[in-house]
Amino acid sequence: MFIYLSKKIAIPNNTRINAIAWNKQNGYIAVGGESGLLKVLKLDSGSDNEGGTKNRGLAATSNLSMNQTLEGHTENIQVLVWNESHKKLTTSDENGVIIVWMLYKGAWYEEMINNRKKSTVVGMAWSADGQKICIIYEDGAVIVGCVGGNRIWGKELKQVQLSGVQWSPDGKLLLFSLKNGQVHLYDNQGNFVMRVNILCHDTSFEPIPIVGFDWYNGLNGYMHAFCPNLAITFENGRTQLMRNESDTSKFCFL
């Protein structure tokens, strides 16, 4: 048996949506679109009925307990990332403007704003403990900052076109995806470590872009050393599952 729940949420003026991010810990959904459209939504968790138990009906209604429009961006939103540990939302638009939002007395407010004014942000990621953020730009610039807003270090990766970034679960490594389908590993100080082997397809032919990659952070329970904890998905639908960044086994292809 399958159970499917849905709720339609209208976007003003049928504005095109470019990015969406779910805060799984607190239940918020951030939606970013054209012309600076940015909304934070939260679905009502429901209330108890007269008998003191939650409504178990299949057709139980649900409402939005939050539907807030955040004003600050004027250009198309490109990237949204949550810092669940510190209840912060970080957003960026195509002009490179980055805004950190914080929750205060039940509403979201602008806490910090930054604009490098040189390139577009193509990826952002918070470390698992929420203490550090890594921001990458289309021109190869990398900036790592702390949750308080101070820069820790910055680096220019020459002749590299970045497309995504992820922290390792322990915060000691940074994984960068490139537009040519490669994956490079750096330490948390910006030093190159290695190029990750891609074995799920032949990289000698036309490059296949990476559409998503993620590292299991271990927050939902310990995993055995032989279980895959890193997934890399490509535009052609192939996915490479790895037990660690150095894994060269061939049994984890999808």
Confidence band of 249 (pLDDT split at 50, 70, 90): confident
Comparison of pLDDT for 52 and 170, the residue scoring more: 170
Question: What would the pLDDT profile of 67-96 be if each residue is shown by its tens digit?
Answer: 999 999 999 999 999 999 999 999 999 999
Domains delineated in the chain: 16-44+62-197 (2.130.10.10)
Neighbours of 194 (CB within 10 A): 12
Average pLDDT for the chain: 85
Cα 66 to Cα 29: distance, rounded to the nearest angstrom:
10
The DSSP bridge pattern shows strands 173-178 and 183-187 to be antiparallel
Comparison of pLDDT for 57 and 247, the residue scoring more: 247
- Evaluate if residue 45 carries a pLDDT over 70: no
What is the model's pTM?
0.83
CA nearest to 187, candidates 166, 173, 171: 173
